[in-house]
C-alpha cells in the first residue's frame, strides 16, 4: 500500500449510464461465440468520505390513545439468487480476483480514518458473459486481514445506483494496526417480502401494539414500538431467530379519516441508519438486526380526525452462502486521516 497523507490524489469517473437495480439483472449462460471482453463497471465510492455519527433527539411525549384493532397479512416473497461456485482463475482483467463464476473485483482505494477503514472495489464480469444480463455482486460477509495476523469482520457495505459496478466495505479496527488484505467469507442471498397491518385509532398521538411477522423459517420480524405524533414519531424493530440474518425494513403508512376524500401517506425517513449521508441513493439498502425508523410530521390539517392507519411493511433480508476468497491490499493506494 502507498500512503497519500494529503488525501486521495485522484478519483475514478462515474459512468454516465442509467442506474439499474441488482434485482433487474438475470443470469445468462456463457456463449463461446461472444467476443472476449471484460467490462469494468462504475466508480469507486468517493475519496473524500468523511463520516460522523449523529444522534437524533426524540420527543418524550406520552401516548394519549391506544389503538383498538390490528390485523396482519403476509404477501409475496421474492429472492435475488447468488449461487456459490468454485471461482475461476482466468477470464478477468489484470488485478481482478474472481468472487464466483460471474463476477470479479479489484480493490482500488483504502481510507483509514481513526478506527474506521473503508475499502472500495470495482467489479468486472467474466469473459463471455453479458454485463447487462448477468447477476452482479449483491454483497457479502467480509473479513479484514491485519498486519498483526488478526481479522475483523465488516460493519457495513455501501452500494450506490449512481456508481454501478462499485461498492465500499467498512471495518472498525484497533489502534496501531494496518490492513494487509480482505477475505470474502460469505456471499449474500437477498430476499424480499411485504406484510400489511391495519389499526383503528382515535386521532393522534397514537401508540400501536407490538406486532410479529414470520419472515423466513426461523426468522421473525418484531415491531417493538410504533408511535405516531403530530411532530413525527418513531418505529423500533428487531429480528428474532437466526442470528446470521440481517434485514432492512421500510414501512408505508397511510392514514384515513372522515374529513378527507383521499387517504394521506405519512412520510417515513428512508434508511435511518447513521450512514444516511454517505450517498443520496442506495442501490442495495443497508441491513441490520434492529433499527429505529423516524417519522416526519404528518401533513394533516387536523390530526385529531385520524380514524384508521394502514401500514405496508416492505422487508428485505440477507442470508450468506459459504465463500472463501482472499484479496491482497499491499499495492492499493491508502489515505490516512488522523482525528
Q: How far apart are CA 121 and CA 1, in angstroms?
A: 15
Model confidence pLDDT, tens digit, residues 170-220: 999 999 999 999 999 999 988 999 999 999 999 889 999 999 999 988 999
Q: Say how many C-beta atoms besides its own lie within 10 A of residue 159's C-beta.
A: 24
Mean pLDDT calculated for residue range 67-88 = 48
The DSSP secondary-structure symbol of 63 reads P
Please identify which residue in the block is written with the cell numbers 435475488: 80
Tally Cβ neighbours within 10 Å of residue 172.
14
> Mapping DSSP to helix (H, G, I), strand (E, B) and coil, where does residue 246 land?
strand
102 and 29 Cβ atoms separated by less than 8 Å: no
Q: Tell me: the pLDDT tens digits for 217-234?
A: 899 999 999 999 988 899
pTM of the model: 0.61
- Are the beta carbons of 47 and 109 closer than 8 angstroms? yes
- Burial tier of 116 (Cβ tally within 10 Å: 0-12, 13-18, 19+): middle
All structural domains of the chain: 11-50+83-187+323-337 (2.60.40), 70-80+190-320 (2.60.210)
How would residue 89 be classed by pLDDT, with cut points 50, 70 and 90? low
Taking a C-beta distance cutoff of 8 angstroms, is the pair 121, 168 a contact?
yes
Spatial separation of the C-alpha atoms in residues 72 and 141, rounded to whole Å: 32
* Confidence category of residue 113, pLDDT binned at 50, 70, 90: very high
Amino acid at each position: 500500500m502507498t500512503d497519500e497523507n494529503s488525501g486521495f490524489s485522484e478519483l475514478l469517473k462515474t459512468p454516465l449510464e442509467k442506474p439499474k437495480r441488482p434485482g433487474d439483472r438475470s443470469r445468462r449462460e456463457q456463449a463461446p461465440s461472444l467476443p472476449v471482453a471484460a467490462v469494468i463497471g462504475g466508480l469507486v465510492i468517493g475519496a473524500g468520505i468523511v463520516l460522523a455519527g449523529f444522534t437524533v433527539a426524540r420527543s418524550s411525549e406520552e401516548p394519549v390513545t391506544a389503538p383498538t384493532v390490528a390485523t396482519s397479512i403476509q404477501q409475496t416473497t421474492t429472492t435475488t439468487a447468488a449461487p456459490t461456485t468454485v471461482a475461476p482463475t482466468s477470464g478477468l482483467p489484470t488485478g481482478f480476483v474472481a468472487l464466483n463464476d460471474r463476477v470479479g473485483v479489484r480493490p482500488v482505494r483504502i481510507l483509514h480514518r481513526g478506527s474506521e477503514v473503508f475499502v472500495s472495489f470495482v467489479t468486472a464480469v467474466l469473459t463471455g458473459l453479458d454485463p447487462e444480463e448477468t447477476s452482479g455482486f449483491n454483497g457479502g460477509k467480509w473479513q479484514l486481514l491485519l498486519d498483526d495476523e488478526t481479522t475483523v469482520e465488516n460493519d457495513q457495505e455501501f452500494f450506490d445506483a449512481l456508481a454501478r459496478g462499485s461498492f465500499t466495505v467498512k471495518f472498525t479496527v484497533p489502534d496501531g494496526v494496518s490492513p494487509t488484505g480482505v477475505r470474502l467469507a460469505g456471499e449474500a442471498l437477498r430476499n424480499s417480502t411485504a406484510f400489511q397491518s391495519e389499526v383503528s385509532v382515535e386521532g393522534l398521538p397514537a401508540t400501536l401494539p407490538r406486532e410479529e411477522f414470520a419472515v423466513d423459517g426461523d426468522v421473525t420480524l418484531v415491531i417493538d414500538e410504533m408511535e405516531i405524533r403530530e411532530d413525527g414519531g418513531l418505529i423500533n424493530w428487531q429480528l428474532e431467530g437466526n442470528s446470521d440474518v440481517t434485514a432492512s425494513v421500510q414501512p408505508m403508512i397511510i392514514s384515513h379519516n372522515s374529513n378527507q376524500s383521499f387517504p394521506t401517506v405519512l412520510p417515513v425517513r428512508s434508511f435511518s441508519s447513521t450512514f444516511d449521508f454517505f450517498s443520496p441513493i442506495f442501490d442495495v439498502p443497508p441491513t441490520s438486526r434492529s433499527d429505529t425508523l423516524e417519522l416526519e410530521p404528518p401533513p394533516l390539517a387536523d390530526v385529531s380526525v385520524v380514524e384508521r392507519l394502514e401500514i405496508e411493511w416492505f422487508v428485505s433480508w440477507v442470508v450468506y452462502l459459504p465463500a472463501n476468497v482472499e484479496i491482497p491490499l499491499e499495492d492499493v493506494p491508502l489515505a490516512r486521516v488522523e482525528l
